Amino acid sequence: MIGLTFSGMAQDDEAKGYIVKVGDIAPDFEMNLLNGQKVKLSELKGKLVMLQFTASWCGVCRKEMPFIENEIWQEHKDKDFALFALDLDEPKEKAEALIAATGITYPIALDAEGKIFTKYALKESGVTRNVIVNKEGEIIFLTRLFNREEFNEMKKVIEAELNK
């Protein structure tokens, strides 16, 4: 059943501004977390990974982040799961203010000049968006904006993947 969702989602990925699609190997990158730690996506193989592209000026992002915190991060953080917010082209102070405003506890990285973002989406296509990468490094789900139905589907995909 979930497989059907993946193929259905893939058809409108391009309309959402993505340059990647479900089934692609996730483009690799290294991110700099606010705590100074560096994390490379390819080093997370064996974990389910959620990438949340965000920015402090994005009202939809601010709306979605508490749902990600409470319904995904708090639920799965002790499993083979990694979640990173990637703050699009902003200084550390803006990312810190975003954390304070939304109350998130999951890690946030700075995406200087949108270099990570543009590996996944067209530069002008905007945030908020989520990319779910399976334990083998393959993209299995993509979202754009915050739609409760799509968010719930993403949660189901995450849970099914973690239960494999």
Q: Work out the average pLDDT over 58-62.
A: 95
At 126-152, the pLDDT tens digits run: 899 999 999 999 999 999 999 999 999
Above 80 in pLDDT, residue 99?
yes
Other C-beta atoms closer than 10 Å to the C-beta of 158 total 23
Sheet of strand 81-88: strand arrangement: 38-40, 30-33, 108-111, 81-88, 48-54, 129-133, 139-144
Which residue shows structure tokens 């990158």? 29
Q: Are 68 and 155 in contact (CB under 8 A)?
A: no
Q: Residues 18-44: pLDDT tens digits?
A: 999 999 999 999 999 999 999 999 999
Which is the CATH superfamily of the domain at 2-28+44-162? Glutaredoxin (3.40.30.10)
Q: Across the chain, what does the average pLDDT equal?
A: 91
The residue extents of the domains of the chain are 2-28+44-162
Beta-carbon contacts of residue 154 (< 8 Å; ≥ 6 apart): 130, 132, 141, 143
